[in-house]
Each structure stands twice: as C-alpha cells, then as structure tokens.
Chain A
Amino acid sequence: MRRSLGEVSAGLARLGRRVTVMLLALFALVARPALAEAPSRAQAIADAITELDVERARKLLEQADAGSVTLAFERARLAIYLGDCDTAAAILAAPDFSSTPEGSGLLELAQSCARATAGSVTIQDEKAGVWLRLQDEADRVLSPFIIQVAVEARQQIEKDLGVHLPRPLRIDLVRDLFSLSAVSGLPVTAAETTGTVAVARWGRVTIISPRATPLGYPWEDTMAHEIAHLALSRATRDRAPLWLQEGVAKREETRWRKPRPFDAMPSHDAVARTALMTGRSVGVDKLGPSIAMLPSPDAAATAFAEVTSFVQYWISENGDAGLQLLLADLKGIGGEDPNAAMRSVSGYDLSGWILRWQHWLLASSNPAPADGPHVALAPGARIEDVTRQVRLGDLLFERGHSARAAEQLGPASRSVPTEAALRFRASRALLDSGAAEDAKTVLGKTDDVRSVHGGWQALYGRFRSETGDRGSAERAFRLGVAVDPLAEDVACEGYWTPRGKATGKIRLPDDARRRALCQAIRQRSQD
C-alpha cells in the first residue's frame, strides 16, 4: 500500500510532536526540582487517605522522605484512619506538631482515642471485609449482627453511589458518648445536646453500643447511614456539601434492606413542608459545620427531614446516574463550591434547586405529621395519670403482681393508644398473669402503633409465632433486634425471666444468634 506525500508529512509531524512530548517528559523527569516533589506527594498521600485508600497512602509514604514534617503529619493521619491511635499520638508528640494548632488538635484527638481504645477487643472478619473494635467485650455477642448489617449496607451503597469502598470497613463500637467523643473528636457536649449516636470520621464508623441507651436505638440504619458517609467521602474526596452528605446518608439508611414498618414515619417531606410553612425550617444550605452541632434535637430532626426530602427530590428529578455524575464532578472540581458541579450535571445551581424543591413541597399534598414527636392522648386522658399508672404498673410487675400491674397499665395504654411501649407493658403484664387472649388484644397490630419499639415487636413476633406465622414473627423479631437488641424481651423473642416469686419456663430462641444474645443477656443480669 502506498502512502501519499500528505500522509507522510502528516506522519512526520506526528512523530515530531511525539518526540517533543517525550523529550519534555524526559526533561520533566530528570529536571523536576526536589522541593516541588514533596508538596505534590504530600497532597497525593492526603488525597489517598481522604479517599480511604490507605494501602496506596501507605505505599506512597514508604517511598517518601521519612524526615519530612508534612509527611509525618500524614503518617499520623493515616494511623488514625487505620485506628492505630497510639502510633498517631507518638508521631504527633514531636514538638514540630504540638506547637501548631493543627498538630496539637490532632494530637489531642489521638491521645483521647488511644485512651478510649486501649485494650479493646478487635474482631477482623477477612471474608466479610469488616474490622470491628469493641470497647466493651460484652458487645461481642452483637458482632455477627453488626458485621452482617455492615456487609449488606456497604453492598447497596456501593451500588447506589457507584463507588467501591476499600476493605476492611473499620467500625468502632464504643460504650458511651464520652468515648464517642474521645474517638471521633466531636465535642461531648455537642453530642449530648443533639443526641449523636454515631460519627463517620477518620475513615471509620464510630458508633455507640445499643447498650448505652436504656431502650436502644435503630442501630442498623445508623450503621448504614455512617457507611454512606464514608462512601461519599471516598466518592467526592470529601468535597460533598453537608446537605448532600446527610441527604444521601439518610436515603441510604433504609435502602440496604427490605422496607419495614415505620420507615417513613413521619414522612420527611411532611416534616419539611410543615417546617417550611411554620417558619421552623433550618434550611438545606444553612446547616453549619454539622447537624450534630445544631442547637437542639428538634432542629436536628427538622434538618434531617429537609435534606432527606431535598435529596430525594433532586434524585427523582435527575436519577441515580445524575447523582453519581454529581459526585464525580465534585471530586474533580477541587473546590468547596458545589454549584459548578450542580449546574454542569443538572442545569441549576443549589439555590435554584432549593427553590424548585420548595415549590414542589408547597404544591404537594403531604399531610402534616399526625402527632409529631409528642404522645397522642386519647380524649379525656391526662399525661400525669399515664405517668403515674406506668410507674405503678412497672413496680407491681417487678414484684410479680402481674394482674395488678395490668390493671394499672391497661388504662395507661388506652390513654395513649398509639404508644407501642405502653401496649407492650400492658400486654406483657396480662400475658404474665395468664390472660393470653387479652394480652394479644391489648398489644394490637402494627397499624395501631406509631413507632417502633423493641419489646412490642418481640411480643408481637411471639404471638405470630404461636399462631404459626413464622415469617411475620421473624420479621418482627428482626425489627426488635434492629432497635433494642440487648433487652431481654427482644433478644429472647418475647420471653422474659419471671419476676417476684413467680416461676416459669425460660424459653430460648431457636435462631442461633438470637439464642446466644438471649443467653448472654440473662447471664449478665444474673451476674
């Protein structure tokens, strides 16, 4: 085949360009100044750490100058990301760091983290790709549940956000808010004010044990929420604005599992709409440094509802692909302002989308939340009487006077018929006194109550199980464990140790994991 002159000259020109590029590249390789290398390498390491790519960061650090202060700081950061707070504290104890605000701040965190995690129990599940550190060894019994949730949630989040989270996923299960603060650096007073139970920071999920709260909390969804934060950090190099972080994390809380009762109660759209109409709106773009730093739990709840509603609206308008594009753009723009990415992906900036969302909210027919966060009293009932009856019922039940307890708790549950906790108490007392049918009636059905309660779910599961509806029973038991796994009623599938002088058979669950949980709880109460 012959080639034309034009083709030859074009080929020569291409060759010439290639040679020029190669020469330039060679020059750059040979002549790049040593001083210019450190900042770029440090940035690369910092980015790798931020993106949770600890292996890459480690390799880069191994190749770098060991004496560099900047890189030493990154080594400390990496150690914290790996959960090795001792090493971080040792690196940061050098005078180079302790005299700077960043260094001393990180040193303080490393030291408090080292104290809070010293002697902890670590469980590494290679197959699941989960690294779990338990501050309280008694929580070991929860580890199978936690690992399962982590794996399932991670899988879904990776799919939704188009990002792969490096293995292992690191989780710190701490015993209380004080330790949560020590490990994460979140001020303990702020955590107490807003009721923070988990933080995704330093490449780890730090979450409070359900043991810390008297009635548990939805720890499974919280875990998914925090994993979503980690995934967002990786996907955007931690450049996602707070509303996007929280909105997406809220969205991912429940997507990893099948829908459950009370998932949309109250509806985020309804709460956001009501807040907008009543002037209690926090504002999607006015969240401050963190929702955990908002002044009250109510403000935090409103903020969550608003960002969740907004993000769901945005995704409904732009699709999942739009979300993934937005994340990629955010990672690429290299700045804090998300408007450029928003405009490029969706045609509007944030203000535009907020206006569109608000119009949509106001135009929608979402009803206001039925009863808000407060208890819904039956006509004529008084909250003081309910409080009184509940306490008397509890005292009588604990003494083994189940029938008398039921006499107190029955009126209380009728006064607040949607309150699952009261229905559970009354039903349990009746069941304990031998009135099984009355107990089932008083407990009611899922539609009768307005919120999830571990004990209620367990007792409901027990009743369903007794009728042979094993599927419903299992769902109820799982939901109970998802909320309050360390309550005896819940872990033992609606059975409890007899109170007072009463005796009875103590049944153990058939499910192996719940049986272990039930046995551990009973053993601990005996100790």
Chain B
Amino acid sequence: MAVTELIDRLASAWRQRVGTASRQALFVLFLLTICGGAHLARVGTLPARIGTLALVLVGGVALIWRWRAEHRTFSDVSRTLARVLLPSDRQLGERTLRAVRLLGRTEHDRSIGSAELARAHFERLLSRASVEAVEHAADRRASRWRVAMLLLLGGIVASFAVGPMRVIEGLDVLVARKGIAPLPLAWLDYMSVKAEPPAYLRMSERNLIPGLGASLPEGTLLTVRGIPRRDGRRLILTDGRQEVPFVADGSGGVVARWTVEESSELKVAARFGGVLIEELDPITLRSVADSTPVVELQGAPKTLLLKEVESIEVQYEATDDHGLRQIDLVLRAGDREDRRTLARLDGESTFEQGAHVLAPRDPWLRRMYLPVLVSVEARDNDPVRGPKWGTSEPITLVPPVLGEPEAARIAGLGRARDEVADFLAWQMEEAKGKETRAPGATERDRARRAVDALRKALDKSYGGLTVPNGLRAFYLGQAQVLERPLKAGESRVRRTEDVLLAIDVALRSLSTRDAATVSKRLADVVEEVANGAKQARETEKRAIGLARLDSAFSAARSSALQLSKLGMLGADLGSVAVADLGRVSRSRQAEDLFHAELAARHLAARLRRPNPSFGGGRRGGVESGPPSAKGAPTGEPSDANDRFDELAAELERLVREHGDEIGKVEQNLAEAEQGVSLESLRDEAKERADALRQALSGLPPTSHVPGSARSAAALGREHGGAMAQGLERLSLGDAVQSGRDALSALDSAEKKANRGSLRGDWLDDADLASARKEVRKQLTWAEEKLAQLKRRAEERGSEAMRGSGEREHKLSRRAGNLASRGKHGETALPEDAVESLDKAEGIMREAARALSEGKGERGLELQREAQRLLERSSTGQTGDDEDQPPNDRNRSTPRGEGGREIRTGGDIPEPGDGKNAEEFRRRVLEGLGKTKDGRFGPAVKRYAEGLLR
C-alpha cells in the first residue's frame, strides 16, 4: 500500500468518526447560544440585545474557525499524522513524526543523510500504524463529542421548556428595527373595541372591528378589551406616539381606554424594553373634528358710511355641526373691541338665525374714529378642544369724521336760519312803512319757504344725528309764529326779527354745546396719537405704534377741521387743535416721536377743558393796558329760548305732579276698598270657588301642542283656578279679571275644537260646556259684588276724592295757562303739543268734576287719559341732548335699572310718522332689552325687532 494511500485511510477513519460528532456538537452549541440569547434579548434593552447578538456571533465564528482548522490539519501530512496517530499510539506517532521531520531535513540538506534512507525509515514506521487502532481511538473521541452534544441539546430543550414563545419573542425583539419587531404576534383573544362619542354629541356608542377603518368624532372614547394569550406581557395600546397600558378588568381580561384626538392607526402591542411587538390587525381611525361654527351675515362683506345710514341691520345665520352655545355681535375698531351677546343657547341647536339693529348713534360707534368691523361670532359647545368661535364676514362701517355730523347739523340749521334772514331782508324792503298790514300772498309764500327750510332741517338726519327734541319743539314753535296771522298792531318785520334772533340764539347755544362735546371726544383721539407715539418709541412694536399714531393723527386732523365749524367756540378750539396737530406733525416728520407725544398730550389736556382760548372771549385786561369794552354790547339778543325752557320745565313739572296725583287717587281708592268688609261673603265665595273648581276638573290640565284646542282649554282651566283662588281670598277685582280671561280662553278652545284641524286635538264637549257655564255664572256674581264694593268704597272715600278733585282742578288751570302761553310768540309750542295740552286741560276738568262728585273710578280713568296727553305735549328743553327724551328730568316713578326712569303710557305712533316711530321703536327695544340677561332675553328682542320691522 502506498504511503499516501495509508495516510488517507488513517485520516478518513478519524474524520469519519470524530469530525461528524464534533460538528454536530458545535452546531448544537450554536443553537443553544441562539436560544439562550433569545431569552436575554427579550429583556428588550439595548445592552441585552447587543449581548445576545455578540453571543450568536461568537458561536458562528467558532463554527467557521473549527471548519477552517480541520481543513488545514488534514491538508498537512505531519499535522494529519499528529491528529490521527498520537491518540491511538503515542510512541509510534511521535517516532513517525520525527521520521517525517528527518525526511524533510534530508531533502534540503544532503549532509545530514540520505533522503532515501529517511523515506524508507518513515515508510517503515508508518507501515506499523494500524487503521483499526486509529478507528478505535476515533470512536472514543467521537463518543465524548456526542455526550457534549446531548448535554447541549438538553440546554436547548430547557430554554424552550421555559416558554417556547419567549424564545420567539426574544428572537423577534433581537431583530427589531426602530423599536418595532418585524414579526407581529397575536396578543389578545376575543378582542372587542367600543367607541363612545363625547356626551355633548348625544350619539350612541358603537363597536368597531379591528382591521376595518372607522370614522369617529374627535373626543370619542375607545375601550379595547380582550383576554391576553400569554401572561406576563406588558400590553399596551398605541398609535405609534402615545401608549396606554392595558389593565386588568377584574374578570380575567384586560382593558385600555383611548380618547380619539386625531386620525391614527391604533395597535395592541407588547412592550419588551425598548421594543414593541405589535398585534397583527390595527384599529384604523379617522378622527372627525368638531368644525368651527359657520356664520353668515346678510350682505357681508360690505362697507357702509355711517353718516348715510339710519340704522344698520345685522341679520345672521349661524350653523354648527353639533351645537351652538352663544352668538355675539362684535364691533372692532383698531385695537378696541366691543362684544355684545345676542343669544345664549343651550348647545343643542345647530342652527340659529336672528337680527339686530345697530343705531349709528350707538355710544360705542360714536366714540370711534377708525373704520369699525361689525361681525357676528358664534361659539360652539366643543368641550374637547375648547369652544371655537366662528366669525362672519364683516360689515365695515366707516364712521363719519368725528364732529362731522355735528358740523353738518349746525350747517343745516344755519342754512335754515339764513333762509329766515333772507326772508327778513326781503320783508324789510317790501314792508317799509306798512309793517302792521296783513302779509300778501307773496310774503306768505316766502314765509312758507323759510318755514319749510326750517322744518326740513329739523327732520333731517345728519350722519345719524338728529335735532334734539327740545330744540326741535322750540324751532317748530318759532316756525308756527312765522306763519300765523298777525295780531292787531303787531309788526310783521318785528315778528320775523324775533323769530330770527330766537333761532340764532338757540343755534349758537347748540353749537357751543356741540363744540364742547366734540372737543372732549377729540381729546380721546389725540390721546391715542400720544399713546401710539409712546408705543412706537418705547416698545418693540414700533410699526404698530406708528400705524396707531398715523391713523389717529389723520382722524384727529379731520376732526379738528370739523370742530372748527361748530360756532365761535368750535372755531377757536378747532384752530387750537389744528395748531397743536401741526406740532405733532412736524415732530412726526422729523421722527421725533418724543416731542410728537408731548405735543399730543398737551393738546388732549387742552381739549378736555373746552373753554375759549382766552377767558370766554373777553379782551385782555392784565399786562396789556386798560381793559376796554370793545366790540358790541354783550348779552344775548333774544331770550326766547330761555322762556321756552321755562315753559317746558313747567310743563314737565305739571306732568310729574299730575302723575303723582293719579297715584294718590289710586291709593285712596285702594284704601277705601280695603275698608269695606267682605266677611259676609266669605262662605258663599268659598262655595262658589269649590263649584268652579269642580266644573273645571274635566278640562285637560296641560297640553303639549301649542295653539291646539286642548291647550286653550288648559289655559282656561288655569285662569279659572286663579279665579277660584281670588274668590276664596275675596279679591274680587282679581277674580273678575281671571274670570274674564278664563272665559276668553274657553271660547277660544271651543272654536278650535270645532275646527278640529289638529290630529289628536279632541275635547269633551260636555266638560267644556259645563266649565264655561260655571265660569260665566261665577263671573256674573263676582262682577256684581265688585260693583257693589266699588260703590261702597266710593262712598267711603268721597271726602278724599273731593280733595283730589280740587287739586285736579288747579292742575287743569295750570295746563290751560301753559297752553295759552304756548300759543304766544316767544314761548310758542308746536301745534300738536298745544293741541294735546288743550285736550288734556278739558279732560282734567272733567276728571276734577268726577272726583268732586265722588266718582273715583271714572275720575281716575279720565286722569290717566289726561296724563297721556300731557306727556305727549311735553317737549323737552332746548338744551337737552339728542338722546335725552322729554320728561327725563326729575320724574318720580317708576324707575328702571340704575335709577333711570322708565316712561310709561303714551300712544304708538303711526309707521309713517318717521322720527316719532323710530324713537318709539328705540324705546321699545331699550325696554325689552332690559331683560337681556334673562333666559329669554335674546328671543324677546328678536321677536320685538321682527314685530317692529
């Protein structure tokens, strides 16, 4: 056998036995590394995962190294012989290895010996090697490897025995990327998902199927339940950013709750340190946000010039997907804002519409000098993200230049005065020498033209500003004087002069008042200039400050020019304002904001003190030489307005005192009635009340259908009940009133029942007829007893009534006297006022007579009628403000909020009666608006606005 062949056989015998066993053992070791590492990796922390990976790598490297070492060993003769022979026959092996080395040396160095001899020596030794012995040694070695392999296999089994899924989870965690394991695993059995929308939406809850998408309102609460497949896992619900842990639900399951805030994909997952192993099926959610309310303002966007409108109608519609809470009218000008609540709602209504009327004379608007953006804003009821305001497109109100309406009013009235002056000039020329003659047709025509001009000026609105009531009445009285027939011996030129002077004096007085008012308001604008300069200078908001300064400056300059048109005081103050604004402007142009602010502050302080520049127009008296009475004599050329004001004040006093007198008569009558004993009627009244209640018992107590017959019958029953109560308490007046109301309601019920238009609106005819009959019967009795009561009361109170009659008579004389003075020249009242006063006087005389005769009820009725006429005739004074109604001073009762008095009584003006109708409308709105804080306030206001429109 050749040497080589023998070596191969020996090597093969070794490798076949030991090589296979060792490879298998090492492979099992590698597997064990992986399984053990999986447990370590499951911890999920980075060190654990790195450690595991290192172990596995080491195992793999060892396998490769082993393979390479084997390959190298068996490709070299001496290593092969050392591996194979030494374990089987150590001595032979060592001698053989020495022979191999000798052979090698002799091949390179002949001096050592013959190579052939060395080869022969090697072959002889090798030939002594036994294949069997090698096989035997290999078998022993292989056996040891197999034992080791078995031990390692035991380890693998043990690692799986702890929990096979733990190894899988560990391996999953080991290979996770970006914190997410690649292999999804099922975590929950019987998983259920319930969605509960926010309570304010009033929607029912629903179940979701994982894997299928769902659209849910924002704020919906998701409840995910299930039974964990494996214990000991830290289960969570996550959208990838937030996590909610599952907690035990007390019945073997786990639960997690999730509030939907945005669209997302929710997953159940288990957390292993920094790694998540997710569930297979995600819960896909689309969040539906509560949308912002949408508000539409009719006509918006648009721009209105305040001076050209009589009123601004704000009609709006507000919608929201879930519900509205509040609707506000918002006025913004520059950085100022005014919010007025139009409606407070319960959050259930998704649609609201309404209207509001804004007057150009609104105090807030009047103070503004920058464009005002009027919008309606609606707030929804979203508790999740907080209430959201939806805003309509704005209506832009461009306010008149501050003082422009006042200047226009003065100019308008001034033109009317000029017409009278022109008429006087014409009359002086035409009537020379024949001044006491009756005017001819031409003169009457010219007088009418002057009067028309005056009336036109009085009726006109100047940028929403009208002529104050008192002044208007005064002017109308003067106009009347100009047209009335001449008295005997009266000079018509003189009369026109009187009228012209009266108009002029009142006009100058108005212009002075207006100048003072506008000056103070202008001071606010100028203060804004100063504040803008300060802001630009001292804060980082320089651009905003400069814009504030410039816009306020522009408004102030325009206003100053308007102020200059308001009579002498206005011209003076306006000139001061223009001068000082010049200082502001110069400083501004020089970028010297400090001095711009200083100059503006000085001007603002000056305008808040709207006195003439120099001591009321006097001439210098000190430091200037002797004072002299230069110019025309001082004093007003007409005191007609003073006399008119005296008359108006007396009239107001009369109205007040007459009102007090009515109160006294009412009190006397009430006291007299209380003094009459009704005890004898008590038993009978109680029986009647019982009978009435019995008769009403067949009627329906309530109805849920407004406008139905049953509803009317229920109302009749309520009134009837009140009547029964009145009877029991012997309050006959109340009982009679309730009885009449009950009868009216029952009549209405009968009519509606006969029509039978509403489904289910049925009534028992017999019950209804019985109730009506009983009410009528008891009402007749109560009326009769009430009349007896009043007769007896009048008899008892006749003495007090006679006193009232005397006072009423005196008051009627005063009314007559005022009417007479009202017809006279300088204290002329408007025609309708005189007419009302005349009528009032007559009725007051009648009332006085009735009271003197002891007819208290009749007298009181007449007094009330007279009071209405007196109030109508009351004009107010020439110095009253535009917004100040007549009789606003010193009225005693009743009083409204804040001590302001409420006017009662009065007639409703015809729709065509322009200004009066508008004023009436405003008063009604104001009155109704008093309840604005109440629950029904906005609704009442809307209703009233609808009615009045």
Listed in ascending order, the chain A residues whose CB lies under 8 Å from chain B are 86, 112, 114-116, 118-121, 135-138, 175-179, 182, 191-199, 208, 211-219, 221-222, 225-226, 249, 253, 265-266, 291-292, 297, 300-301, 304-305, 373-375, 383-384, 386-388, 390-392, 395-396, 398-399, 401, 404, 407, 416, 419-422, 425, 451-453
Alpha-carbon distance between A305 and B621 when the two chains are bound, in angstroms: 12
**Chain B residues whose CB sits within 8 angstroms of the CB of A386 once the complex forms:** 632-633
| Assembled-state Cα–Cα distance A399/B580 (Å) | 32
Determine whether the beta carbon of B627 is less than 8 Å from that of A301.
yes
Interface stretch, picked from B173-181, B381-389, B592-600, B770-778, is: B592-600
Q: In whole angstroms, what is the CA distance A304 to B628 when docked?
A: 14
Contact of B428 among A175, A291, A407, A420 (CB under 8 A): A407
Q: Is the CB of B614 within 8 A of A197?
A: yes
Question: Chain A residues near B568 (CB, 8 Å)?
Answer: 214
Q: Among the interface residues B595, B598, B632, which one has the most CB atoms of the partner chain A within 10 A?
A: B632
User: Which residues of B are found within 8 Å of A226, using beta-carbon distances?
Assistant: 623
Q: Once bound together, how far apart are the Cα atoms of A399 and B606, in whole Å?
A: 34
Are A222 and B624 in contact, CB atoms less than 8 angstroms apart? yes
List the A side residues contacting B914 at CB < 8 Å.
none
User: In the assembled complex, which residues on chain B have CB atoms less than 8 Å from the CB atom of A177?
Assistant: 611, 613-615
Contacts of B602 in A (CB 8 A): 112, 115-116, 118, 179, 182
> Would you give the shortest CB distance from A525 to chain B, in whole angstroms?
10
Decide if B637 touches A119 in the complex (CB within 8 Å): no
User: 12 pairs across A/B with beta carbons < 8 Å?
Assistant: A115-B601, A175-B613, A192-B616, A195-B620, A195-B627, A214-B572, A221-B624, A297-B621, A388-B501, A392-B497, A395-B417, A401-B422
Q: Does B345 interact with chain A (Cβ within 8 Å)?
A: no
Of B582-590, B726-734, B783-791, B837-845, the one contacting chain A is B582-590
- 8 closest A-B pairs by beta carbon, nearest first, are A119-B583, A176-B613, A195-B621, A136-B579, A197-B620, A217-B620, A401-B425, A115-B602
Determine the distance from Cα of A191 to Cα of B620 in the docked complex, in whole angstroms. 10
Cβ–Cβ < 8 Å partners of B428 in chain A: 404, 407
* Other-chain contact of A300, B417, B619, B622 (Cβ < 8 Å): B622
B621 to A, closest residue via Cβ? A195
Which of A118, A120, A138, A391 makes the CB contact (< 8 A) with B504? A391
B629-677: which residues lie under 8 A (CB-CB) from chain A? 629-638
Of all chain A residues, which has the CB nearest B623?
A198
Q: Contact between A208 and B632 (Cβ–Cβ < 8 Å)?
A: no
Contacts of B575 in A (CB 8 A): 136, 138, 175, 211
* Nearest CB of B to A112, in Å: 8
Known: A177-B613, A419-B632. 9 other contacts (CB 8 A): A119-B587, A136-B575, A175-B575, A179-B606, A192-B615, A198-B624, A208-B614, A425-B632, A452-B630
Counted as pairs of residues, one from A and one from B, with CB atoms less than 8 Å apart, the total is 222
Contact B624 A225 (CB under 8 A): yes
The answer to whether A175 and B619 touch (CB under 8 A), given A197-B614, A392-B500, A401-B422, is no
**Residue B760 at the chain A interface, CB threshold 8 Å:** no
With known contacts A138-B579, A404-B424, A215–B630 Cβ distance under 8 A: yes
Let me know if B624 and A217 touch, CB within 8 A: yes
Q: Which residue of A lies closest to B626 (CB)?
A: A301
The answer to whether B418 has its CB under 8 Å from any CB of chain A is yes
User: Across the two chains, which residue of chain B brings its CB closest to A305?
Assistant: B626
Cβ of B489 under 8 Å from chain A: no
Across the interface, which residues of B come within 8 angstroms of A214, CB to CB? 568, 572, 617, 631
The minimal Cβ–Cβ distance linking B534 to chain A, given in whole angstroms, is: 13
In angstroms, Cα B629 to Cα A375, docked, is: 7
Chain A residues closer than 8 Å to B615, beta-carbon distance: 177, 191-193, 195
Taking the closest CB of chain A, its distance from the CB of B225, in whole angstroms, is 73
Min CB gap B438→A, angstroms = 22
> Contact: B421 with A119, CB < 8 Å?
no
B622 contacts A297, CB within 8 Å? Answer: yes
Residues of B within 8 A of A375 (CB): 629, 633
Contact of B623 among A225, A384, A404 (CB under 8 A): A225
Contacts of A198 in B (CB 8 A): 620, 623-624
Residue of B nearest to A267 (CB): B626
Quick one: which of B425, B584, B611, B618 contacts A195, CB cutoff 8 A?
B618
CB pair A416–B633 under 8 Å, yes or no, is: yes
- Cβ of B440 under 8 Å from chain A: no
Is B899 interfacial (CB-CB < 8 Å)?
no
Q: A119-B586, A176-B613, A179-B606 are in contact. Are A195 and B637 (CB under 8 A)?
A: no
Complex: A179 Cα to B463 Cα, angstroms: 34
B606 partner residues in chain A, CB cutoff 8 A: 176, 178-179
Q: Does B363 sit at the interface, judged by CB under 8 A?
A: no
Contact call B583/A120, Cβ cutoff below 8 A: yes
Task: Out of B594, B613, B623, name the residue touching A292 (CB < 8 Å).
Answer: B623
Contact A395 B421 (CB under 8 A): yes
Nearest CB in chain A: distance from B263 CB, A:
61
- Write the nearest CB–CB distance from A76 to chain B, whole angstroms: 17
Contact mask for chain B residues 564-587; partner A; CB cutoff 8 A; 1 contact, 0 none:
000010001001100110111111
Alpha-carbon separation in the docked complex, A425 to B633 (Å):
13
Interface centre among A118, A222, A421 (most CB of B within 10 A): A118
**Chain B: minimal CB distance from A125 (Å):** 20
Residues from chain A with a CB closer than 8 A to the CB of B595 are 86, 118-119
Q: In whole Å, how far is B484's beta carbon from the nearest beta carbon of chain A?
A: 21
Complex CA–CA separation, A402 to B617 (angstroms): 26
Interface members, chain B 471-517 (any A CB < 8 Å): 497, 500-501, 504
Check B621 against A175 for contact (C-beta < 8 Å): no
Contact A395-B583, Cβ < 8 Å, known A195-B620, A213-B614, A373-B627: no
Identity of the chain B residue whose Cβ is nearest the Cβ of A190 in the assembled complex: B622
Report the Cα distance A216→B421, complex, angstroms.
28
Residues of chain A lying within 8 A (CB to CB) of residue B637: 384, 387-388, 390-392
Chain A proximity of B413: nearest CB distance (Å) = 13
Evaluate contact between A304 and B622: CB separation under 8 angstroms. Answer: yes
Contact between B583 and A196, CB atoms less than 8 A apart: no
Contacts known (A175-B613, A391-B501); A399 close to B421, Cβ less than 8 A = yes
What B residues does A373 contact at CB under 8 A?
627-629
Closest to B581 in A: A119
Report whether B599 and A395 are in contact in the complex, using a CB–CB cutoff of 8 Å.
no
Q: Does B923 contact A (CB under 8 A)?
A: no
Q: List, in ascending order, chain B residues with CB within 8 A of A291's CB.
A: 622-623
In the assembled complex, the Cα of A390 lies from the Cα of B497 at a distance in Å of 12
Knowing A301-B627, A388-B637, say if A218 contacts B620 (CB, 8 Å).
yes
Across the interface, do A195 and B631 meet the contact criterion of CB distance under 8 Å?
Answer: no
Q: Which residues of B lie under 8 Å from residue A292 when comparing CB positions?
A: 622-623
Looking at the assembled complex, report how far the CB atom of B119 sits from the nearest CB atom of chain A, in whole angstroms. Answer: 119
* A212→B573 CA distance, assembly (Å): 10
Cβ–Cβ < 8 Å partners of B611 in chain A: 177-178, 192
CB contacts under 8 Å to A, within B339-380, are none
Contact B627–A175 (Cβ < 8 Å): no
The smallest beta-carbon distance between A205 and chain B, in angstroms, is: 10
- Whether B625 is near chain A, meaning CB under 8 Å from some CB there, is yes
Q: How many angstroms from the CA of A249 to the CA of B584 in the assembled complex? A: 36
User: Given A118-B599, A120-B583, A213-B614, A218 and B624 touching (CB < 8 A)?
Assistant: yes
A343: shortest Cβ distance to chain B, in Å? 30
B5 within 8 A of A: no
B625 to chain A, nearest CB (A): 5
B596, B622, B635 pick with most chain A CB within 10 angstroms: B622
B429 proximal to A (CB < 8 A): yes
Given contacts A119-B599, A217-B620, A218-B620, contact A297 B424 (CB under 8 A): no
Known pairs A118-B595, A451-B628; A213 contacts B504 (CB<8 A): no
Contact between A387 and B624 (Cβ–Cβ < 8 Å)?
no
Residue of B nearest to A300 (CB): B622
Query: Who on chain A is nearest to B427 by CB?
Result: A404
Q: Which residue of A lies closest to B639 (CB)?
A: A384
Would A300 and B621 be within 8 Å (CB), given that A119-B587, A391-B637, A395-B504 are in contact?
yes
CB atoms of A222 and B614 under 8 A apart = no
Q: Which residues of B contact A208 (CB under 8 A)?
A: 613-614, 620
B residues in contact with A416, CB < 8 Å: 633
